Amino acid sequence: MTHALIAAADRGHADVAATVEKAGLRGVAAVPINEMLFRAHLDELAALDDAGEGSLVITLTHGGEETSVLVSVGPGGVEIGKAARPAEIPPTVIVQGVCEAALALYGPPERVSSAGPEIRWPSPHTMVPRLVRGPAVPRLFHAVVQRVVHVLERSRPAHLTELAVRHGTDKWGFLHQYTQHYERHFGHLRDRPVRICEIGVGGYGDPRAGGGSLSMWKEFFPRGLVYGVDIADKRALDRPRITTVRADQSDPEALRSMAEEFGPFDIIIDDGSHMSPHVITSFRTLFPYLVEDGVYAVEDLHGSYWPQLFEGSEDDLNDPAYTVGFLKQMVDGLNHEEFLKKETRVARPTDRTIKGMHFYHNLAFIEKGRNEEGGPIASVLREAPEILGVEGLQ
Ligand SMILES: C[S@@+](CC[C@H](N)C(=O)[O-])C[C@H]1O[C@@H](n2cnc3c(N)ncnc32)[C@H](O)[C@@H]1O
């Protein structure tokens, strides 16, 4: 249902309404409610000291019908559904049409309703005496409402570094500072319904551990579908918009079958074993499943050099059997039309399909796209150098 709503939201209100009518309001409502709660991070509010308690009711409506869920937040955490005990202050009610909610969550930014949701605060007979005479209104009373309203207005998109820390991936911190580069290379895709595939879910053999970067991408790309590939079974981490697949990245058949089912992808990231033969096999297998203008990222390039940890080598930095040497050959491929002698290099399948490469500390980005400009001066130098008054190469 999530995928159907994202696709419908891309097409507009009428398609979302048709999807809701087909499945029924109750059949659809859990999807946007789940998404709102994922993005609102109410658990962070629950962890605040002395913030008290707050509760709200999210009501979704469609064609005269409505469905609601009660959300209570307090020192004990976030509770969905019936509260353990009555709230000190009655819950605030946030009312939104289910189509408007789906468009705000999954549609292009211009479809987010400027009116926002309706907020029904508790009765003034309860609130005014408290506000005038006390006891003070707990901080969470406003905070929980504000977080959900922000989500429905799609305001305040977080920086990727903030999301990395929030979701517990090492893409920013003591070990790596990758998020600044990801933000630069992926920022323009943020509001698109992208498909992103990351090799390496995290947590290694523990089936319940890891998934930090998958949740980070889910939040960074509010309309994105996120696929995680790991040699270990990570299905326990599957969530709406996050699907994990068990596959060894050194096994081309397993990767191909995953990509046939879930691709093509707008973004592929290799953060798996970091062993050069695995990285190279994955690139060769999955690059064809990247869309035109898609981006392929390879993390932790240090694996290319370290014999003790990733069977790397520093002996010949241009050796294409190792990740960095392999990528360096593609740098020459960007200029494949400029070589004068046939024997200078062997043509590679990606010469014409890689249009850009960017290298940072331990991180490379490879941009897919047409690389056929013609190389007019090289062709004159090869075929008719006398036009330029120079000699041909022997
Ligand atoms: C560094 S962690 C990934 C961290 C995660 N991407 C993040 O940023 O939060 C590496 C993961 O790669 C997985 N892995 C190791 N070898 C693999 C292989 N051959 N194929 C697929 N996954 C592999 C491990 O199980 C581990 O969970």
- The answer to whether the CB of 200 is under 6 A from ligand 1 is yes
Q: Ligand 1 centre from 299 Cα, in Å?
A: 11
pLDDT of residue 193: 94
Q: Does residue 203 have its Cβ closer than 6 Å to ligand 1?
A: yes
CATH architecture of 2-153: 2-Layer Sandwich (3.30)
Q: Judging by DSSP bridges, how do beta strands 195-199 and 290-299 pair with one another?
A: unpaired
Per-domain residue ranges of the chain: 2-153, 160-378
pLDDT of 84: 67
HSE, CB side, 13 Å, CA atoms: give it for residue 178: 25
- In this predicted structure, what is the pLDDT of residue 390? 87
Find out whether 247 and 231 touch, Cβ atoms under 8 Å.
Answer: yes
The finding on whether 271 has its CB within 6 A of some atom of ligand 1 is: yes
Q: Which of 62, 176, 181, 274 is catalytic?
A: 274
The enclosing H or E element of 227 equals strand 225-230
In short, whether 248's Cβ falls inside 6 Å of ligand 1 is yes
- Domain 160-378: which CATH number of 3.50.50.60, 3.40.366.10, 3.40.50.1820, 3.40.50.150: 3.40.50.150
Q: What is the mean pLDDT of each run of 10 residues along the chain (394 residues)?
A: 92 94 93 95 88 92 94 90 78 95 92 84 90 88 92 85 93 93 96 96 96 97 96 98 98 98 98 98 98 98 96 95 97 95 90 97 98 94 90 80
Q: Is 274 a catalytic residue?
A: yes
Ligand 1, atom 11, residue with closest C-alpha:
200
230 Cα–ligand 1 center, Å? 6
CA of residue 202 to ligand 1 center, whole Å:
5
Cα angle, residue 235 at apex, residues 232 and 241 outer, rounded to 5°: 125
What single-letter amino acid sits at 115? A
Our answer on whether the CB atom of 52 is closer than 6 Å to any ligand 1 atom is no
Using one digit for the tens of pLDDT, what is the confidence trace for 134-166?
888 888 999 999 999 999 998 767 899 999 999
β-strand 354-360 against 290-299: which pairing, if any? unpaired
Q: Please give the Cα distance from 256 to 83 (Å, whole number).
A: 47
Given the structure tokens 């050959």, which residue do they identify?
329
* pLDDT (0 to 100) of residue 104: 93
